Structure 1
Amino acid sequence: MLDINQLKVFIQVVDEGSFTAAGKTLGMPKSRVSRMVSDLEASLGSRLLQRSTRQLSLTEVGNEYYSRCRHLIHEITEAHRLISDREHNPHGVLRLVVPVMVASGSMGHFLTKFQNVYPDVRIEVVHTDRPVNMIQEGYDLGIFVGDLPDSSLIARTLTESDSILCASPAYLKEYGQPQHPQDLKNLRCVKLGDGIQPETYQMIHSETGEEISIAVEPNITTNLMEANLHSMIKGAGIGRIPYLMAGDAVLSGQLIPIFNDWQLRPERVSVAYPSRQYLPKKVRSFVDFIVSEVEELNRLIDALPTTEEQLSAVNKLLSQTDET
């Protein structure tokens, strides 16, 4: 079996003209250099070098072998260097799968900022709520809300989902302000996601900790946040909206949160990837980046006492143009 290291040493010996000089260049003892060349000759069954006390010379077979292999070793070494450099400097296409709700929030801000820092990484994002097999479908990373689709995935927790139930003033004027989550069964629902199946709201009472699950039939389902938000503003029904996306509509009075004592149960939001072994630099860089960015965003929110101040600060942050 061919040993590339033996071949590399042989090429170096010929280029340097001696075992001693090759050993100095390669950082190994002369005796090891000589032994590796001898092992290569043994594996080929042919003598490559004529040795004397004064000089080395190529045999006819050795000259042909050297001529054919020298450029190949150079190409292999160069390919190794290029790949190694890429792994030290993030490069290539990063394929990312993201739930519709998460993708419609601050994700665009984060992606733009990441590419400003790592301009050699191109980003391909797929927004979907369907089950995804990351390995089979060739995704480098995924953002997931709740349980992971595959327990073998390596995951880091980013935050907890934070959504609120809202409706327009006109809708609440016509149908009334619900007082208890059970009242939602009699109201129209605008659902963000895939499929016309019922929207299930997991609610927790902020004081007693009581939990309740309410399934509401949607009259409108869309996997586009802008359409979902516009439908709610126009009075189509109540709906769940990510906290970070509620800003302008809530602050302007276009949407009104419908419960004070109840909140939607938070779910873990994670970034996950298929394997920790030989993780590409582009993936490692994105994971570290998104974890840091979300932590900073959470610190910003936690430092402000009122919902209005939090939403206003987040809106300002996400509307900034990054110059890094």
Structure 2
Amino acid sequence: MDLVAVSDFNLVARHGGVGRAARATGRPKATLSRRVTDLEAQLGVRLFERGARLLTLTEEGRALFARTSALLTELDETAKEIASGAQTPRGHLRISAPLLFSQTAMGKLAAGFITKNPAVHLQVTTEDREVDMVEEAYDLVIRVNPKPDESLVGRIFLHDRLVVVANPALARPRTGDAVPAIVRGPMAGAETWDVITPDGLSQIAARPILSLSSFFMVRDAVRAGVGAAPLPLSFVSSEIAAGTLVAWGEVQGHRTSLWALYPTRRLLNPRVSAFLEHLKAAFPEGSPEELAGYMER
């Protein structure tokens, strides 16, 4: 594939037309048009729908633009860095992060990163779904217990675990009794929590009475004393230490790991490297207590 033709195709796609791309870049309109036509002939597909005045990407054109625009930008920035002999992080860095981590720590992390790297334009989006890094042009994603993916590499930077917590006024149920439970997500039937305590493994029967969509709401309901709930230790450790919540035990088999991931086929650019080092500096041990302390600073 002709890399120059792909680059010119990206110019036309980014500016929304051959004429606009020519005016914005000073490139001859005829050259841009010919390169796009040659690329379509080479690939055997139409990349643009050509109207009387409007030029729109076809489905194939959108796919090609999504997969090549970030790579071309990265190649251009790498070439500039090599030519200047500089490795100072600069340019755009786009990150996707899960909701709870974003709400509790990402704002402070982002502010600290930009303070140290003022030439970087950082954009963080928050959602729990697994975004497509290539299609949606993300440089880095943070995921909780991600499924194996051969197209991504990365590292664990935090560990956490679930603990069953309750208001001190709520008595732990006796054997055979069920405790009113607050759940995150869809309401289910009765369930049993296997918890690890200083005395060993025990079971707590749970009867869901309230379903909420976020850990913040679940914690507020637990504080109010209406029921118990499993919550991340990092999220409630300070309240356990203060005695405003009590821990009934760690939920067996529910440890979580936070990963920072990036595509294997991309060059690890200075922006991503710098953010990975920023995470490592913020959480050198990667423990839930460390995350709790970070949130309180």
TM-score (norm 2): 0.59
Amino acid of the residue matched to residue 90 of structure 1?
Answer: P
> Is the 8 Å Cα contact of residues 156 and 271 (structure 1) preserved in structure 2?
yes
Tell me the equivalent position of 2:163: 164
Tell me the equivalent position of 1:94: 93
Amino acid of the residue matched to residue 277 of structure 1?
Answer: R
* RMSD (CA atoms): 4.1
5 Å-filtered alignment, 1:198-237, equals 198=188, 203=194, 205=196, 217=208, 219-223=210-214, 225-237=215-227
Q: 1:212 to 1:91 in 2, by over 3 A?
A: farther
Identity of aligned residues (%): 23
How many residue pairs get aligned? The number is: 223
1:285 pairs with 2:274:
yes
- Give the deviation of 1:249 after TM superposition: 2.5
- Give the deviation of 1:272 after TM superposition: 0.6
SS of the residue aligned with 1:240? strand
SS of the residue aligned with 1:272? strand
Per-residue CA deviation, residues 54-75 of structure 1 (Å, 9 max, x unaligned), is: xxxxxxxxxxxxxxxxxxxxxx
5 Å-filtered alignment, 1:241-320, equals 241-259=231-249, 263=252, 265-275=254-264, 277-296=266-285, 298=287, 314-315=292-293, 317-320=294-297
> Is the 8 Å Cα contact of residues 166 and 227 (structure 2) preserved in structure 1?
yes
5 Å-filtered alignment, 1:104-115, equals 104-115=103-114
Q: 1:113 to 1:146 in 2, by over 3 A?
A: same
5 Å-filtered alignment, 1:45-84, equals 81=80
SS of the residue aligned with 1:134? coil
Unaligned runs of at least 5 residues, structure 1: 5-76, 302-309
Post-superposition, which runs of at least 4 consecutive aligned residues in structure 1 deviate over 4 A?
77-80, 82-87, 197-204, 206-218
Per-residue CA deviation, residues 197-253 of structure 1 (Å, 9 max, x unaligned), is: 549887464689879899974623223x44332222122432233222214432333
> Is the 8 Å Cα contact of residues 106 and 244 (structure 1) preserved in structure 2?
no
- Give the deviation of 1:282 after TM superposition: 0.7
TM-score (norm 1): 0.54
CA–CA distance in structure 1, aligned partners of residues 206 and 116 of structure 2: 43
Amino acid of the residue matched to residue 278 of structure 2?
Answer: F
> Is the 8 Å Cα contact of residues 190 and 237 (structure 1) preserved in structure 2?
no
Tell me the equivalent position of 1:189: 182
1:134 pairs with 2:133:
yes
Per-residue CA deviation, residues 284-305 of structure 1 (Å, 9 max, x unaligned), is: 111122133222564xx8xxxx
Per-residue CA deviation, residues 299-323 of structure 1 (Å, 9 max, x unaligned), is: xx8xxxxxxxx68x954x5444xxx
- Give the deviation of 1:167 after TM superposition: 1.6
CA–CA distance in structure 1, aligned partners of residues 168 and 108 of structure 2: 30
Per-residue CA deviation, residues 35-86 of structure 1 (Å, 9 max, x unaligned), is: xxxxxxxxxxxxxxxxxxxxxxxxxxxxxxxxxxxxxxxxxx9995378659
> Is the 8 Å Cα contact of residues 196 and 218 (structure 1) preserved in structure 2?
no
Tell me the equivalent position of 2:71: none
SS of the residue aligned with 1:131? coil
Tell me the equivalent position of 2:50: none
SS of the residue aligned with 1:277? coil
